[in-house]
């Protein structure tokens, strides 16, 4: 087989979609605000972003990023192991460690890299990594890069995890990896039960709080805090590209060995560090999130409850878990693509989920909401969904 042969099914799948916008390849021409963009010349309501608190346009975040560019330049031009460790990186690590009341933190250039580095740095061929079936691609790729044996357990099923751990000769050589909030289905991990299973087996637990950091917990530290198991989780990984409106990732831990990954995790050692503007912007976003978490979450959850009530009343089948991610089940790929295009033409952007990321009869539109959405924008989103859904027969016509 030639190098390009494996890519040949892609143009056929694109051609089968027909004329019109192509999912996964939509260009945003202009960003007007955290909640509005321009696509194909149209003002478009953004209901497919992870900008959960709308901090990407906060004046303090923008000012911090601008000041960092002026003082430290546009880029670091080196990895953390070479010339890329700036005072700002250490300051941000200290801020994360302090926020979690833990002794150690590392920051990474991307959230994807954070999972790659943690799994590949911690585990090797003599170890086992056991992941939730619906884990993010970065978790699977990190497990493959580590060379460890990879096992899966049924989604959000602690009993199945316990069975997988029972089959391991030594639980202390096992790393269990789950997410706090799953990015497609929008559901939450039963972290209390999972932590208990890991503790009984002697396995270590890593929780990826990419979508749950800021959104859950009394201090906004994620679903492990909300579940009361922060002290039972060995590693908390998160990203800057959701609630913190930047790009990058972090890990915090109570284990002093975390600091040795600075020398051992290849995705970290050989990747250029985050730019001064990114690090400064995230540092300010973290400060704002920790300071204003109660108010930010109140606005976010008000919007989540409002849109869920509206979509349900219109007759849509939505995800059962109350979270900022609201999946709308549509059905076949053709129906999903048709509705995605119709929504876009009507001025609303959502993410589309197609096989193999879902069953062929359970394709969905993944919507997500922000504290920055106004009530008028939430009502507009429900109205657009309802109009398009009725026109396409996704939901029943008005009586």
> What are the Cα distances from residue 375, in Å, to 87, 312, 382?
41, 17, 11
Sheet holding 317-318, edge to edge: 317-318, 325-331, 363-368, 351-353
Question: Rounded CA gap, 115 and 335, in Å?
Answer: 34
Best CATH choice for the domain 5-56+294-391 from the list 3.60.20.10, 3.10.129.10, 3.40.190.10, 3.90.1150.10: 3.90.1150.10
Residues 147/122, Cβ–Cβ less than 8 Å: no
Q: Higher pLDDT residue, 302 or 362? A: 302
Residue 317 has pLDDT above 70, yes or no: yes
Q: What is the pLDDT of residue 20?
A: 83
Query: Tokens for 94?
Result: 């200290």
pLDDT tens-digit readout, 39-86: 999 999 999 999 999 999 999 999 999 999 999 999 999 999 999 999
Residues 192/227, Cβ–Cβ less than 8 Å: yes
Q: What is the pLDDT of residue 399?
A: 61
Query: Tokens for 163?
Result: 């069975």
pLDDT band at 132 (very low <50, low <70, confident <90, very high): very high
Question: Rounded CA gap, 390 and 54, in Å?
Answer: 31
Residue 1 has pLDDT above 80, yes or no: no
Q: What is the pLDDT of residue 19?
A: 80
Residue 177 has pLDDT above 70, yes or no: yes
Residue 278 has pLDDT above 90, yes or no: yes
Question: Rounded CA gap, 91 and 214, in Å?
Answer: 19
- For 345, residues 6+ apart whose C-beta sits below 8 A from its C-beta are none
- Average the pLDDT over 29-46 and give the result: 97
- Average the pLDDT over 135-154 and give the result: 97
Residue 207 has pLDDT above 80, yes or no: yes
Q: What is the pLDDT of residue 76?
A: 95
For 127, other C-beta atoms within 10 Å of its C-beta total: 20
Q: Higher pLDDT residue, 357 or 136? A: 136
**60 has which bridge partners?**
none
Share the mean pLDDT of the chain.
95
Residue 16 has pLDDT above 90, yes or no: no
Q: Dihedral of CA 69/70/74/78: which sign?
A: negative
pTM of the model: 0.95
Q: What is the pLDDT of residue 359?
A: 87
Question: Rounded CA gap, 35 and 53, in Å?
Answer: 10
Q: What is the pLDDT of residue 356?
A: 85
- Domain boundary assignment for the chain: 5-56+294-391, 76-274
Q: Quick one: which H or E segment has residue 30?
A: strand 30-31
Identify the CA nearest to 216 among candidates 37, 52, 397: 52
Question: Rounded CA gap, 349 and 68, in Å?
Answer: 32
Phi and psi dihedrals of 365, rounded to 5? -105, 120
Residue 276 has pLDDT above 80, yes or no: yes
Identical fold for domains 5-56+294-391 and 76-274, yes or no, is no
Best CATH choice for the domain 76-274 from the list 3.40.50.20, 3.10.20.30, 3.40.50.620, 3.40.640.10: 3.40.640.10
Question: Rounded CA gap, 182 and 391, in Å?
Answer: 31
């Amino acid at each position: 087989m030639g190098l390009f042969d494996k890519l040949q099914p892609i143009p056929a799948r694109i051609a089968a979609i027909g004329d019109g916008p192509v999912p996964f390849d939509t260009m945003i021409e202009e960003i007007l605000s955290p909640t509005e963009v321009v696509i194909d010349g149209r003002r478009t309501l953004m209901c497919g972003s992870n900008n959960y608190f709308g901090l990407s346009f906060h004046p303090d975040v923008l000012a911090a990023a601008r000041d960092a560019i002026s003082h430290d330049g546009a880029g670091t031009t080196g990895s953390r192991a070479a010339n890329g460790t700036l005072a700002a990186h250490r300051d941000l690590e200290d801020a994360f460690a302090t926020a979690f009341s833990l002794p150690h933190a590392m920051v990474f250039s991307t959230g994807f890299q954070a999972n790659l580095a943690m799994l590949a740095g911690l585990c090797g061929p003599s170890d086992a990594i056991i992941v939730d079936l619906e884990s993010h691609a970065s978790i699977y790729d990190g497990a493959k890069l580590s060379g460890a044996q990879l096992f899966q357990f049924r989604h959000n099923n602690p009993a199945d995890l316990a069975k997988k751990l029972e089959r391991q000769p030594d639980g202390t050589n096992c790393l269990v990896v789950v997410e706090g909030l799953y990015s497609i289905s929008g559901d939450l991990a039963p972290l209390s039960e999972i932590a208990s299973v890991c503790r009984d087996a002697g396995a270590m637990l890593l929780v990826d709080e990419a979508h749950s950091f800021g959104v859950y917990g009394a201090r906004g530290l994620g679903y492990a805090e909300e579940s009361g198991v922060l002290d039972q989780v060995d590693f908390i990984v998160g990203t800057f590209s959701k609630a913190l409106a930047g790009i990058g990732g972090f890990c915090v831990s109570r284990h002093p060995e975390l600091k040795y990954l600075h020398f051992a995790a290849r995705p970290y050692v050989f990747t250029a560090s985050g730019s001064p503007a990114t690090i400064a912007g995230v540092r300010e976003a973290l400060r704002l999130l920790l300071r204003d978490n109660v108010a930010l979450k109140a606005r976010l959850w008000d919007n989540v409850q409002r849109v869920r009530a509206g979509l349900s009343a219109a007759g849509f089948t939505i995800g059962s878990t109350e979270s900022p991610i609201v999946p709308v089940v549509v059905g076949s790929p053709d129906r999903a693509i048709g509705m995605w295009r119709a929504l876009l033409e009507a001025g609303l952007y959502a993410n589309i989920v197609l096989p193999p990321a879902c069953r062929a009869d359970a394709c969905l539109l993944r919507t997500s909401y922000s504290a920055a959405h106004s009530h008028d924008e939430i009502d507009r989103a429900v109205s657009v969904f309802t109009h398009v859904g009725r026109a396409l027969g996704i939901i029943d016509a008005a009586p």
